[in-house]
Amino acid sequence: MAVTKEKMEAWLRRILGVDKLNLGLLDYIARIPRVKDLTDVPSGTPVLVRGDLDCKPGAKVGEGDIRLRSMKETLEIGRSRGWIQVILGHIGRDPQLSLDKVCKRLGEILGCEIKFIPDWFDPANLTIRPEVVEAIQAAKPGDFILLENTRKYDIERVLWKAKPVDIPNLAEKLAKVANEFAEKVARVYVHEAFSAGSLDTSSVVVPAAMDKVALGEYAYGEFSGPLADCLNAQLVISSGLKIDKLDDLQAMIDRGKIRWVFTAGSLAMGLIKAAHQLDGKDFCIGVQEDPAHKDQPYYIPPERIEQAKKMIAEGRQKGIQFVMPVDFVLQDGRVATTLGPQDQQFDVGPATLELFEKKIGEFLEWAKTLNEPAIAFHNGVFGKFEDPRFETGTKRFMAQLKRMKDAGVRVYVGGGEGGKALELYGQPDWVTHNFTAGGTVLNALGSEPVPFLVSLEMAATKSF
């Protein structure tokens, strides 16, 4: 049955968070089928696969293509069942980027030719081009078709900055797009793009028109295994440029398991100022509190300081230890314990690293008293690590992840920049698991649900 404008409005209200079910991660996973459960989909059926295509393949298989390789099990299941799999997804944020090289590498991984369609959508009429329909009709059971970068078309990105007030104006267009996919491409949809946590139309709208939806085997495994384990972490190391990570940290703390919080970056600056104010003092955090910089991602508004104060006050009552930097590497390379109004921290200093190492030792001693496994979750980097002048904090702390793992702690790295830092300064076996996606992991553990899980749950339960 076609999706009406009214149904799409209800759908978008859930996607944009106006109407919430307040489900936990494991609730979503329990309500969404896995691809292996689609046993009643006959051979020759077109199946739309939202793939994890955002990668830069290297010279040979195994280089820069981990996301493509993560899709293999799901795609092989579809091939063994004779489905005609139409794969779509994005690469980067630039609409001009092409998936042509990705298509070639995916073919090498699967050992077959993949038909590539470079121009598959008519943005003027919001319709699927005839070339797609013709390719599906010409395909044999087990064939693959890959569509060009979804972000090539504006409609894919229309929800990125959408507000609830925009829903009535967007609903009719997005309903038409969803119906086009159902009518001309497939009525079965599989999401095997663990890292695709943005509000892309292909991820969060198209499932509305599908008869059947499922989560790919890799994505299911990540959510039900490592991410489920992270829900029970007692120690979290959270850092980064944006203060909005406070929301995610608060959600993690609210689960009641966390007893140790290590912070760095802008997040730490907000918490440091909050802790000082709670103790009747103050602490200048430089340009990060200057309203003249409020258009910058590192700016920390007063309401975030108040949020941090509440978090620390409640955390102290629960016995949570907040371990924060005590010295900083500033923009000119100076190491200082205080900041002036024009200063900005770009890394933690040597005294902080010594403190962190000492506190990790205390955590390991504390962990010996537990009657359950010790779990640590690390997200982000300590400073502007891409600049060699400010990489020391991030680089040196990687050894602490290995130290915890060697002591029997299950150590998880939340992908993104933290994952990149592990690749640069450590080894894969220094941790229990390094996720292939940063934003998706934070969504899953943080304050907001993963958008594509919201979409799949609605489609699977027909609850819209």
Amino acid, single-letter form, for residue 9: E
Distance CA 416, CA 30 (A): 26
Question: Are 407 and 364 contacting, i.e. CB atoms less than 8 angstroms apart?
Answer: yes
pLDDT of 240 higher than 80? no
Alpha-helical (H) ranges within 328-373 are: 350-367
Structure tokens at 291: 């309203």
What would the pLDDT profile of 286-307 be if each residue is shown by its tens digit?
999 999 999 998 899 999 999 9
Distance CA 390, CA 332 (A): 10
Beta bridge pairs of residue 85: 47, 144
pLDDT of 42 higher than 90? yes
What average pLDDT does this structure show over 71-75?
98
Q: If you average pLDDT over every residue of the chain, what do you get?
A: 95
What would the pLDDT profile of 415-438 be if each residue is shown by its tens digit?
788 888 999 999 999 999 999 887
Residue 401 CA: distances (Å) to CA of 109, 428, 447: 32, 11, 25
3-state secondary structure of 387: coil
Global pTM reads 0.91
Weakest-pLDDT range from 69-73, 174-178, 266-270: 266-270
Query: Residue 446: pLDDT band by 50, 70, 90 thresholds?
Result: confident
- The phi, psi pair for 142, rounded to 5°, reads 95, -5
Query: Residue 248: pLDDT band by 50, 70, 90 thresholds?
Result: confident
What would the pLDDT profile of 335-367 be if each residue is shown by its tens digit?
999 999 999 999 999 999 999 999 999 999 999
Distance CA 310, CA 382 (A): 24
C-alpha closest to that of 132 among 150, 123, 145: 145
Question: Are 147 and 86 contacting, i.e. CB atoms less than 8 angstroms apart?
Answer: yes
Structure tokens at 428: 């894969």
- The phi, psi pair for 312, rounded to 5°, reads -65, -45
Q: Where does residue 8 rank: exposed (0-12), middle (13-18), buried (19+ CB within 10 A)?
A: buried
pLDDT of 171 higher than 70? yes
Question: Are 210 and 459 contacting, i.e. CB atoms less than 8 angstroms apart?
Answer: yes
| pLDDT given for residue 206 in this prediction | 98
pLDDT of 203 higher than 70? yes
Structure tokens at 120: 């598959």
Helix 416-425 crosses helix 392-406 at what angle (to 10 degrees)? 80
Strands 121-122 and 127-128: antiparallel
Question: Are 98 and 105 contacting, i.e. CB atoms less than 8 angstroms apart?
Answer: no
Chain position carrying tokens 């073919």: 107
Beta bridge pairs of residue 214: 190
| pLDDT given for residue 415 in this prediction | 76
C-alpha closest to that of 241 among 386, 73, 116: 386
Q: Tell me the CB-side half-sphere exposure of residue 265, using CA atoms within 13 A.
A: 26
C-alpha closest to that of 42 among 179, 141, 134, 144: 141
- The phi, psi pair for 307, rounded to 5°, reads -60, -45
Structure tokens at 313: 């006050």
* Percent over 70 (pLDDT), the chain: 100
3-state secondary structure of 84: strand
| pLDDT given for residue 445 in this prediction | 87
Q: What is the dihedral of CA 77, 80, 86, 87, to 10 degrees?
A: 40
Query: Residue 439: pLDDT band by 50, 70, 90 thresholds?
Result: confident
- The phi, psi pair for 340, rounded to 5°, reads -90, 170
Distance CA 44, CA 83 (A): 5
Distance CA 375, CA 119 (A): 47
Question: Are 171 and 5 contacting, i.e. CB atoms less than 8 angstroms apart?
Answer: yes
C-alpha closest to that of 253 among 266, 267, 235: 235
| pLDDT given for residue 245 in this prediction | 84
What average pLDDT does this structure show over 126-154?
98
What average pLDDT does this structure show over 162-182?
97
